[in-house]
Structure 1
Amino acid sequence: MQMTGAQILVECLLEQGVDTIFGFPGGAVLHIYDELYRQHDRIRHILTSHEQGASHMADGYARATGKVGVCLATSGPGATNLVTGIATAYMDSIPMVAITGNVPLSLLGKDSFQEVDIAGITMPVTKHNYIVKDVKDLARILREAFYVAQEGRPGPVLVDIPKDVTAHKAEYVREEPRKVERRCKGITDESIREALEVIGRSRKPYILVGGGVVLSDAKDQIVELADKLDAPVTCSLMGMGGFPTNHPRYTGMLGMHGTKASNIGVTHCDLLVVVGARFSDRVTGDTAKFARGAQVLHIDIDPAEINKNVAAYHHIIGDVKMVLEALNSRLEQQQHAAWMEEVAKIQKDNPLRYKPGLTGQYVIERLYAYTKGNAIIATEVGQHQMWAAQFYKFHEPRLFLTSGGLGTMGYGMGAAIGAKVARPDMRVVNIAGDGSFRMNMNEIMTAVRYKIPIVVLVINNSVLGMVRQWQTIFYDERYSFTHLNPDLDYVKLCEAFGAQGYNLDKVEDIDAVFDKAFASDVPVVINCIVDKDDMVYPMVAPGKPIDELVEEKY
């Protein structure tokens, strides 16, 4: 059947099971938007307040479901406004297809109005990208984009389409989506045998769970490995929920703001089994002294991560779930009671603590108790993000949405909306700092417009908290441009957007405010007033070994 490029695009999206697109229109994508108007009963479009919000919503949708998130923007500034969200998805290996319009083919490369080389701009932060120069190639490229976004280590793919290509016609024949096979070529009998030998020699094993466990849906397999190995478990920020953080083997997050039990335990272990993690500097600290007494067994789908930051004694390259299934099937029960007791004592003697009163830590603990862990938690970036990782427990994967690799302030608002669109049955909370909230608070209008009842918990300390914390510790309290406007009335602001707002400044009001917020059928912003001098502890100074923790004195 002959169809226009715009029609082919929409049909290909439907082929791939896409039910929602997040975007913002403009001249170069008008043919596409005209077709979306015609097809509104078959595919939903969410009009965002800014293109960056669209990319974060697509990201949140993907993280909450495991499906590919889709965002759409026009040429020039519309396309460049997607870049931060694309880079965020790239750093955290999130499957996304970003579709951009461009000027007509005859105007490409001529500095035309609203023309940018978006393929060139995004080359370093996409898994792959395409410029569609012939409508006959459009369906093939779109199908390939979805496959590439999901296959192996996931990531964002960009498809740039000149305007006239969306008007030209070509033959379209529906196809079933290409099945994405899990990578298993690197999982050999020899690699499993060698891993079992390394494990068999260990007396003090530790498991580090990374984001790859979440992406591979390997929670059950990692729990089985921990039990068979009889080992304690720690998580990177991206690994939260990959291993249940309410599990008795879990010792807390690892790294710069990790727990003492995890940081000391990993430093003193003799075997570190690293599953789907990339050894970020925020996890390792001084790599020369990271897990310095351990042999590292690294399991990852991406061969580029092996020996990149930390040398592996042995590695297995393949889909994490398949590797763990193969390993577990041949692993005999290990016994490390003395080691488990040693780590448990460190954990018991060094619990996470904070001062009494209304603090970010306490409110997040109460949020967990109130929701019983049955909520999707998105975060912005800063102190509140670390407190969420420390004090909220994640029983399942895909309940913690946060920008780990890029550290994108403003991410959480869009991610929360995308997650709620994807999983309307779930409570969705965006935990924000007041600095991060200002970045993309305009997306409250999007949530209001589409009646998306998210809850935004603003931990408001009137400063850029994490930056100020570093200024306190490393810059002799020279607070350069980190004080915000304390007189801004967030409740009135959000009410102007059409949302509900509540001030929270007393401990005894927490549950009553939560009751109102979660009973609402419109977006709610809770403005929680905390002290500007509250800090995230423990903390490891940049470049220091992770066992050199600074702890707050009480």
Structure 2
Amino acid sequence: MNGAQHILDAFHRHDIRTVFGYPGGCIMPLYDALVDDVGTEHVLCRHEQGCALAADGYARASGQLGVCIATSGPGATNLITGVANAHRDSIPMLVITGQVPSGLIGTDAFQETDVLGMTLGIVKHSYLVDSVDELPAIMEEAIHLAQNGRPGPVWIDIPKDILLAEASVEATIRQEATQTECPNLSDALALLRSARKPLLYSGGGVSLAHAESSFRAFADTSALPGVVTLKGIGNAGKHSDHNLGMLGMHGSRAANRAVDECDLLLVVGARLDDRATGKLDTFAPNARMIHIDADAAEINKLRPADLAIRGDLNTILTALTRELETEPLAIADWQKQCRTWNTTGGFNAADNEEPLAPITGPAFVRQLSRIAPDDTVIACDVGQHQMWVAQHYQFNHPRHHLSSGGLGTMGFGLPAAIGAQFANRDSTVINVAGDGSFMMNAQELATIRRYRLPLKMIILDNQCLGMVRQQQELFYNNRESQIDLDDNPDFVAMARAFDIPALHIERTDQIRRGIETILAYDGPMLLHVAIAREDNVWPIVKPGASNRDMIDESQRTAKTNKEHVA
């Protein structure tokens, strides 16, 4: 077999059946091998960034490895944002690019770029293959590295001549390491039992470790009040009695207050991101901290832990659950206090029942949450709509909520939804986008059309870059700069140009009909939702400020009234 055929052979051995790519000159030998391949489904996206983000969405929704392929030069550079997105959120991804022939590397050949140099900071590992006999072993190692330990993207850059050359060796099949034993948890249990106000803080590491069931068993047995990061949404399920929701910049007052007043913070699979913690030296000021994580680099990185436990989350959480089953925690007063805060400071607002009222983002998302099936996958873009979904949609599983966390990539949602639909052929998958984000990768409507995906798209259109406008209003004296998008296309006509039916709504009494119509349609459909330009996400914490200094709509209104009086 030549190098290209060895790549496909590795796909078959590891049951990699779906890949996302875009052909070009230096990767052409691999595409030639695909002609005769049986078992690998290649999805042709319409931009290499779309390929990377679709592979990302596939991995998030399935828990399996996402694979994207591109050629050298601009093909490789177009992948970079999508790969960086996967790296920041620890998504398992294999990236394969063609490179100019070995003898031309370093000569500024046509479509040559230094892929390894450009991507050092956004990959878990990378390779420039310099011998075809190394390629089988590199494929094995790369697939293993991308998925094991803390997951992440691994990039293999392969010169064209190596893809064409015949390999004289077979791959060495990696033997999995035996599972390490559970660390001693006696100190953690002692801290939990001595705390009067312990709080469970979980993040995306729970689903990355495939520890959803272990986490829920621990959360239910411990009955700890809990908060989640953006990537941890869905960890506790939609019916948890103890979940206070998301914390941080756009978290609930209940979640942020519980963090502020707890005396023990049990962090599980989270990295204390700045959007979650706010001003770090005021975060959980009264609490000791237990940090459980698979990645040693995250422990003590931002805040020293009083007790650090590194290891497999399933093993650790199962052991903790077993201990607490025999001796439950005595925290009834704290549980009652957190429930009270959640009642008064959670996202429990009533919808506007006035039928002719304009549609608001939160009201729309709450209705969507009530109407959509429990196994619906929501792929968000980035902006106000992303935060409304995080606040108001009730997710039953973390893999149902796909959101660009660490990088905040506008244009993520549509290709990620495409990847999720390939991962979940029979599930309802919805891309919730803003008008600004949707335009970033709108070319992928052609991919939806090509593969007849039953994907649903919802655009919350406020004719501006809403999150930027909101921060300019609140933190830059309302000095608006370059945020108007009033020259948007007719999104309904745009969808129909790709043979995708579309519907426009603009009043409260049209929400239910609009949602039910797109969900019932047997095929792709777009719902264009006009919302008010002035709608904001509440509450909000000023970047760099303490979470206890959250601003809500009543404070904004009071400030505006005071300015008018002055």
Q: Same fold (TM over 0.5)?
A: yes
Structure 2 residue identity aligned to 1:363: F
Asked if the contact 2:140/2:171 (under 8 Å) is kept, the reply is no
- Aligned ranges 1:328-343 → 2 under 5 Å: 328-331=321-324, 332-343=327-338
Q: Give, in whole Å, the separation in 2 of the partners of 1:173 and 1:224.
A: 44
- Aligned ranges 1:372-391 → 2 under 5 Å: 372-391=373-392
* Cα deviation code 1:66-115 (max 9, x no counterpart): 11000000000000100001000000000000000000000011111100
Moved more, 485-494 or 405-414: 485-494
1:101 equivalent to 2:101? Answer no
1:507 equivalent to 2:508? Answer yes
Matched position secondary structure for 2:363 = helix
* Cα deviation code 1:119-141 (max 9, x no counterpart): 11111100000011111111100
- Aligned ranges 1:279-294 → 2 under 5 Å: 279-294=272-287
Q: CA deviation at 1:400?
A: 0.6
Q: Percent identity?
A: 41
> 2:562 corresponds to which residue?
none
Q: Give, in whole Å, the separation in 2 of the partners of 1:175 and 1:367.
A: 49
Q: Give, in whole Å, the separation in 1 of the partners of 2:351 and 2:509.
A: 16
Asked if the contact 2:216/2:235 (under 8 Å) is kept, the reply is no
When the two structures are aligned, how many residues end up with a matched partner? 547
Asked if the contact 1:151/1:180 (under 8 Å) is kept, the reply is no
> 1:6 corresponds to which residue?
4
> 2:193 corresponds to which residue?
200
Q: Give, in whole Å, the separation in 1 of the partners of 2:488 and 2:157.
A: 44
- Aligned ranges 1:144-543 → 2 under 5 Å: 144-171=141-168, 173=170, 178-179=175-176, 184=180, 187-189=182-184, 192-331=185-324, 332-352=327-347, 353=349, 356=352, 357=357, 358-486=359-487, 488-543=489-544
Structure 2 residue identity aligned to 1:434: D
Structure 1 residue identity aligned to 2:27: V
- Aligned ranges 1:102-121 → 2 under 5 Å: 102-121=99-118
Q: CA deviation at 1:245?
A: 3.8
Matched position secondary structure for 2:547 = coil
Structure 2 residue identity aligned to 1:201: S
Q: Give, in whole Å, the separation in 1 of the partners of 2:20 and 2:316.
A: 35
Gaps of 5+ in 1: none
Q: Give, in whole Å, the separation in 1 of the partners of 2:373 and 2:402.
A: 17
Matched position secondary structure for 2:157 = strand
What RMSD over aligned residues (CA atoms) do the two structures have, in Å?
A: 1.5
Q: CA deviation at 1:410?
A: 0.3
> 1:64 corresponds to which residue?
61
Q: CA deviation at 1:267?
A: 0.6
Asked if the contact 2:371/2:516 (under 8 Å) is kept, the reply is no
Q: Give, in whole Å, the separation in 2 of the partners of 1:160 and 1:50.
A: 19
Q: Give, in whole Å, the separation in 2 of the partners of 1:372 and 1:140.
A: 43
Q: Give, in whole Å, the separation in 1 of the partners of 2:427 and 2:440.
A: 25
> 2:81 corresponds to which residue?
84
Moved more, 313-322 or 96-105: 313-322
Asked if the contact 2:183/2:311 (under 8 Å) is kept, the reply is no
Asked if the contact 2:413/2:433 (under 8 Å) is kept, the reply is yes
Structure 1 residue identity aligned to 2:296: P
* Cα deviation code 1:231-277 (max 9, x no counterpart): 11110001111221431111110000110111001110001100000
Structure 2 residue identity aligned to 1:550: I
Q: CA deviation at 1:488?
A: 2.2
Q: CA deviation at 1:173?
A: 4.0
> 2:15 corresponds to which residue?
17
Asked if the contact 1:12/1:139 (under 8 Å) is kept, the reply is yes
* Cα deviation code 1:181-207 (max 9, x no counterpart): 65x46x422xx1111111111010100
Q: Give, in whole Å, the separation in 2 of the partners of 1:226 and 1:12.
A: 39
Asked if the contact 1:445/1:498 (under 8 Å) is kept, the reply is no
Q: Give, in whole Å, the separation in 2 of the partners of 1:472 and 1:154.
A: 39
Output the TM-score relative to the length of structure 2.
0.94
Output the TM-score relative to the length of structure 1.
0.96
Gaps of 5+ in 2: 558-566
Matched position secondary structure for 2:167 = strand
Matched position secondary structure for 1:398 = helix
Matched position secondary structure for 2:127 = strand
> 2:25 corresponds to which residue?
27
Q: Give, in whole Å, the separation in 2 of the partners of 1:404 and 1:164.
A: 38
Q: Give, in whole Å, the separation in 1 of the partners of 2:174 and 2:45.
A: 28
Structure 2 residue identity aligned to 1:97: L
Asked if the contact 1:147/1:180 (under 8 Å) is kept, the reply is no
Q: Give, in whole Å, the separation in 2 of the partners of 1:181 and 1:400.
A: 32
> 1:547 corresponds to which residue?
548
Q: CA deviation at 1:363?
A: 1.1
Moved more, 107-116 or 363-372: 363-372
* Cα deviation code 1:143-175 (max 9, x no counterpart): 110000011100000000000001100135476
Structure 1 residue identity aligned to 2:340: K
